[in-house]
Amino acid sequence: MSKFAIRLLTLAMLSMAVVAAPVLAYAAPDSDPPPSDSKGKKKKSSENSTRSYAAFADGYRAAYATIYDRHDYATAIEQLKALGHDDSAAVANLIGYSYRKLGDYKVSQIWYERALKADPNHVKTWQYYGLWQVEQGNRDQAQYHLSRIAALSGTASEEYKSLAAALEKPPGTGLVY
């Protein structure tokens, strides 16, 4: 193979990687791995698995937009539950967040704990559950959540900064995060 052909092939592969990287990163909701088949059966082909994951990612992104763009938390809960992956930390966390925004703190807590059971290192859940703790007046617990975030992602992470800022505010200010 000539040097020109090798260089051309290398350039083509690099270009494909650069083009595909943002698409793959965006398709992976909240850094969650692709959902597993809940029935434990193997997929017949990788095409079915890819299609299934694409449907999950599309549904997750739609629910995410419903929460953060439209602030329609009740609809988002329905969308997230319809995904059929309540065992995913990212899904359970957003369900918990939505219930918290609706003011249902007991149910929200159940979902946050479910998310942490699914993935004890899910930084976004530690952040949101820490904000829940601040709202409930549990500042010591929120401080614990902050220390978990620091251990998992460092003090420069957005999750750490957000919870630290909430803890800096005086207790009882009644702010909802």
Per-residue pLDDT of the chain (177 residues; tens, 9 = 90+): 677 767 766 665 655 555 544 433 333 445 444 444 444 445 456 777 888 889 999 999 999 999 999 999 999 999 999 999 999 999 999 999 999 999 999 999 999 999 999 999 999 999 999 999 999 999 999 999 999 999 999 999 999 999 999 999 988 765 555
Report pLDDT for 30. Answer: 58
DSSP class of residue 44?
S
User: Cα separation of 56 and 60, whole Å?
Assistant: 6
Residue written as tokens 């401080």?
143
Instruction: With CA atoms as reference, report the closest residue to 127 among 111, 144, 114.
Output: 144
| pLDDT reported for residue 10 | 63
Q: What is the pLDDT of residue 27?
A: 37
How far is Cα 153 from Cα 158, in angstroms, rounded to an integer? 9
- pLDDT score, position 52: 87
Q: Is 64 exposed, middle or buried (0-12, 13-18, 19+ CB in 10 A)?
A: middle
Q: 3-class SS at 124?
A: helix
Give the model's pLDDT for residue 17. Answer: 55
Q: State the Cα torsion 154-100-56-60 to the nearest 10°.
A: -80
Of the candidates 131, 146, 93, the one whose C-alpha atom is nearest the C-alpha of residue 115 is 93
Check residue 136 and give its pLDDT.
94
What are the tokens at 113? 């704990």
Nearest to residue 118, comparing CAs of 94, 92, 98? Answer: 92
pLDDT on residue 14: 59
At a CB cut-off of 8 Å and minimum separation 6, what does 134 contact? 142, 163, 166, 167, 177
Q: What is the pLDDT of residue 51?
A: 85
Domain locations in the chain? 49-104, 121-171
pLDDT of residue 99: 98
